Structures are given as C-alpha cells and as structure tokens.
Amino acid sequence: MSFSLDVKTDLLTYSQSEEAIDKLEIESMIRISGEIGIIPVKLSLTSNNSGIIRRFLALTKKYYKVDTNILKRVIDRFDSHTSYTAEITEGADKIISDLNLFSDASEYKKNINIQGMNAYLRGAFLVRGSVNDPNARSNHLEISSTNEEEILFIQRIMNDFELNARITKRKNYLVLYIKAREAITDFLYHIGCKKIMESYQNAIITRAAKTVAKRSVNLTLANQDKTNASAKEQLKYIEYLEYNYPLENLDSRLLMVMKVRKDYPDYSLMDLLDIIHEEYDPKLTKSGLNHRFRRIKEIALEYKKKDN
C-alpha cells in the first residue's frame, strides 16, 4: 500500500456535520476532477479508489435527492487497473445550480472560511492528490488538474496557510506542489489527516536522526583518516631522525614527544596529550604539542638537506 493511499484511507474516516463545509468538499471534488454532462444533464466523478467514490456519493446524498450509479471498469493493462465512476443523473441539475458549477464559484466558495478552506483542500487532495512516503529521498506533495482557475484558487488557499505552494506544468496538467516537510505536515493537519500526520512527523524525525548519526560517523571516519595521515607523517620524520641524527643533540622535550608518538601511533593529538599529562608534562598544551612536532619536522628536513 502506498503512502498516498494510507493518507486517503485516513481522510475517508473524517467527518463533520456543517452543511456548507461538506458542500465545499463536494464542490472541490467536482471542479477539480468531475465532469458535467449537458444532454442529458448529469454529473460524474472517476477514481481508482472506490472509497473516494463512496464518500462523494454519501456527501451528495446527504444534502441532495439524487439518483446515482457506480460504474466499474477494469483497464486492460499490466497492473489490471480498476477505475470507478460515480454517475449522478436525476437531481444533478440541483447540484449544478446550488454549487454554481457553470460559474467560477458557489456562494459557499465565495464566503469560504478556514474550515471551508480545509474542506476544499481535502476534496482536491482526495481526487487528484499524492504525497511521497516520508522515508523517500525527497519530500513532495502535489495536486494536479487541467482546471487552471481551480489550481490557482487552491494555491491561494495553501499560501494563505504559508505552505509556499508552487505550480508547474506536466503534459496537459497543471501541478500544484509543496516540498518542505514542515509544509507537508501542516497540509496534512489542515485537511484532517491527524493520524497519518503524526506518523509522518515521526518518520521525518527518525530519518533526520539517522542522517545526523550517519554524518557523525562520516565525520569521525574523516577525522580518523586525518589523524592517521598526520601520525604517519610524524612517524616518518621521527624514524628519519632516529636513524640519521645524533639524538643526544635533541632537546629532551622533543625526545619525549617522539617516544609517545611511537608508543601510540594511532592516537590523535588530544589522546597523546592525555598520555603526556598523565606521565610526563601536565602543563603541555595542544598548541605546544603541535609546535614540537613541527620542530621535529624542521630538524629532519634541515638535516636531510645538509646530508645531501
């Protein structure tokens, strides 16, 4: 089961009792994805989700006396895709008139409030929406339609909620989309998808935690590689001095650092400092230790240059 289907299944359980709000959801479904027949007058809505069709018919029957029919069609494709069409014949003219479907908006839409906006978004998402699984590589929620006026209207609603919705074109469709995970979470909240919203948030948090942990591991490995490279270079100069340089001429503090590095070839500077503080010099700083290693390198290079 896809995440979009999970979201819509959750939405199909949403209910409220205010007529104007329900009618805005009906209006949104029809304007975004429905068809109006003239001769004879009829309304139809098609979806591959039978639950959406049943919700649409339940809402229309709640407020209008209509004669309805559900048509089922199996498309002959590899996935045996099944589509369902809700067809309203008798009483369709009353719905068309009440929702002013031959014009830009009904009175409900013209006087829309926040609850109505939520219902309008819910209807649009049910019939033409999709959202990526929160565990996917990218965050993406979209609503598509061939109806430009409706896409622009829904964009205004979404951006009234500060969701930063944008529009692009895909073949014959206009696609309204949001990508920020916080915006997607807010959208799911507005349309009434609270259970899935919580699981979406939890999945995002888990994914973020895994990302932080992965970065931490990568940083640790990078630091270890850097430590190993520095230690290897230090040991190279130490070994050169031991085989070629009169060690009695070296400062005892340099000899101490050389010994500790040889005894602990994989340690970082901070780890070496812990050993030095405990066994030799409790006052030596990291800067001082770095200075001694630089001095060992300088002596080795100077002596090698003279020797050549």
Worst-scoring range by mean pLDDT, 91-95, 152-156, 210-214?
Answer: 210-214
Q: Average pLDDT, stretch 74-100?
A: 82
Residue type for position 268:
S
> How far is residue 246's CA from residue 243's CA, in Å, rounded to a whole number?
9
Report for 153-157, 197-201, 221-225, 262-266: range of highest mean pLDDT: 153-157
> How far is residue 70's CA from residue 86's CA, in Å, rounded to a whole number?
5
Tokens of 297: 């390198």
Together in a domain, 294 and 147: no
pLDDT, one tens digit per residue, over 248-306 is 888 888 888 888 888 888 888 888 888 888 888 888 888 888 888 888 888 888 888 87
Q: Which pLDDT value is given to residue 155? A: 96
CA distances from 282 to 1, 186, 247, 285 (A): 63, 56, 24, 9
Q: Is the residue at 57 inside a domain?
A: yes
Full-model pTM:
0.66
> How far is residue 290's CA from residue 73's CA, in Å, rounded to a whole number?
77
Domain count of the fold of the chain? 2
Nearest-Å Rg of the Cα atoms of the chain is 35
Tokens of 246: 């009169």
Q: Is the residue at 145 inside a domain?
A: yes
Q: Which pLDDT value is given to residue 224? A: 65
Together in a domain, 33 and 118: yes
Report for 100-109, 153-162, 228-237: range of highest mean pLDDT: 153-162
Note the helical H segments in the chain: 3-11, 19-33, 50-63, 92-98, 107-110, 114-128, 148-160, 181-190, 194-244, 252-263, 269-279, 286-307
Could you tell me if 114 and 107 are in contact, meaning their C-beta atoms sit under 8 angstroms apart? no
Domain coverage including residue 233 = 219-307
Q: Which pLDDT value is given to residue 104? A: 86
Could you tell me if 246 and 281 are in contact, meaning their C-beta atoms sit under 8 angstroms apart? no
Burial of 166 (0-12, 13-18, 19+ CB in 10 A): middle
> How far is residue 54's CA from residue 84's CA, in Å, rounded to a whole number?
10
Tokens of 160: 């009234």
In terms of pLDDT, which residue wins out, 196 or 56?
56
> How far is residue 260's CA from residue 281's CA, in Å, rounded to a whole number?
12
Together in a domain, 188 and 227: no
Quick one: pLDDT band at residue 221, thresholds 50, 70, 90?
low
Q: Average pLDDT, stretch 131-154?
A: 89
> How far is residue 68's CA from residue 42's CA, in Å, rounded to a whole number?
10
Q: Which pLDDT value is given to residue 66? A: 85
Give the angle subtended at the CA of 146 by the CAs of 140 and 152, to the nearest 5°. 65
Q: Which pLDDT value is given to residue 38? A: 86
Q: Is the residue at 200 inside a domain?
A: no
Quick one: pLDDT band at residue 143, thresholds 50, 70, 90?
very high
Worst-scoring range by mean pLDDT, 79-83, 205-209, 235-239?
Answer: 205-209
Q: Average pLDDT, stretch 193-211?
A: 66
Quick one: pLDDT band at residue 160, thresholds 50, 70, 90?
very high
Mean of per-residue pLDDT scores for the chain: 85
Together in a domain, 11 and 141: yes
Tokens of 243: 């085989």
Quick one: pLDDT band at residue 235, thresholds 50, 70, 90?
confident
Domain boundary among 192, 211, 232: 192
pLDDT, one tens digit per residue, over 24-37 is 999 999 999 999 98
Q: Which pLDDT value is given to residue 212? A: 62
pLDDT of 77 above 60: no
Q: Is the residue at 98 inside a domain?
A: yes
Cβ partners under 8 Å of residue 295, min gap 6: 254
Q: Is the residue at 197 inside a domain?
A: no
Question: Quick one: how far is CA 21 from the chain centroid?
Answer: 30
Together in a domain, 224 and 139: no
> How far is residue 294's CA from residue 268's CA, in Å, rounded to a whole number?
15
Together in a domain, 61 and 159: yes
Q: Which pLDDT value is given to residue 6? A: 87
Q: Which pLDDT value is given to residue 150? A: 94
Quick one: pLDDT band at residue 19, thresholds 50, 70, 90?
very high
% the chain with pLDDT above 90: 37
Cβ atoms within 10 Å of 86's Cβ, excluding its own: 23
CA distances from 23 to 71, 80, 112, 190, 248 (A): 23, 33, 11, 17, 95
In terms of pLDDT, which residue wins out, 180 or 154?
154
The CATH number assigned to the domain holding 66 equals 3.10.28.10
pLDDT, one tens digit per residue, over 41-76 is 899 999 989 999 999 999 999 999 888 877 777 666
Q: Which of 46, 174, 24, 158 is nearest to 101 (CA)?
A: 24
